[in-house]
Amino acid sequence: MNRRVAAVRGLFDYLVMSGEIEVNPVPSPRRSGGLRQVRRGVLGHVGGRHRGSDGRLVRQSRPLPESLPAEEVSVFLADLDRHRDRAVVLLMLLGGLRASEVRSLRLADIDVGMGQVMVTGKGGKQRTVPVDRAFFTALGSYLRLERPAGLTTPECFVVLRGPTAGQAMSEAGLRRVFRTHRARSGAQRVRPHRLRHTFGTELAAAGMDLLVLRDLMGHAHAETTAAYVHPNAETIAAEWSRVRAVQR
């Protein structure tokens, strides 16, 4: 419904700019000033949309982040036969990195001594993420046994075979790894972003402060991080009792 409304609105925006009609009859989201945004130029009706003003007249529910059960993740991990692939998956699962952040991670961004990585996320924003020791164990095996010696490629994870060996792992290459091991292991729901969601959901369930979790995951808005909190009746009752005890 929203797509249809947006299409009709775009048509009438064009008719207004071309002089066929004077006013667009299709309702438009209002800004703080209460005025319709003016778009200039012949193609003004298709450009420059801002966050929160994308023309949706029908409210759409936002799906909750989908996490994975521990059993399914374990089955998938057990099927990985390369240290590189295991390190990649663990970085998403134990560090909450996006697929693009894993692929762009450089060797210089990894601090083994401090047990953390420097991540460049959306918009070029950087954040420091501590990662569990299991990742660094897999990473060490990959660097020692699989990554070609003397390679000058700055990215950490590279292609290991074929004509592009030694080049940074591509998006298609990463998708191929997940597709192959989903088929072999039967863990059909394991995908990069669900591993990231699993990381966020588990930390939120453990009680991590949402502002800390927001910075850890590189979210621009706290509302995005809040989606990882799924309080049940027992959690609500326990939190209410805790607050009442403090007030007394």
Q: Which of 83, 196, 197, 214 is catalytic?
A: 196
Whether residue 90 contacts residue 134, with contact meaning beta carbons closer than 8 Å, is answered with yes
DSSP, collapsed to helix, strand or coil, labels residue 213 as helix
Q: Which of 193, 214, 221, 242 is catalytic?
A: 193
Angle between helices 83-95 and 192-205 (to 10 degrees): 40
* Backbone angles phi and psi of 106, in degrees to 5: -100, 160
- Residue 15 φ/ψ, nearest 5 degrees: -65, -35
User: Is 193 known to be catalytic?
Assistant: yes
Bridge-based pairing state of the strands 110-111 and 126-130: unpaired
Assess whether 125 carries a catalytic annotation. no
Residue 228 is a catalytic residue = yes
What is the C-alpha to C-alpha distance for residues 55 and 37, in angstroms, rounded to an integer?
11
49, 122, 125, 176: which one is catalytic?
Answer: 122
Q: Catalytic residue among 9, 86, 98, 197, which?
A: 98
Q: Give the DSSP per-residue string, 110-165.
A: EETTTTEEEEE-GGG-EEEEE--HHHHHHHHHHHHHTSPTT---SBSSB--SSTTT
Active site residues: 98, 122, 193, 196, 219, 228
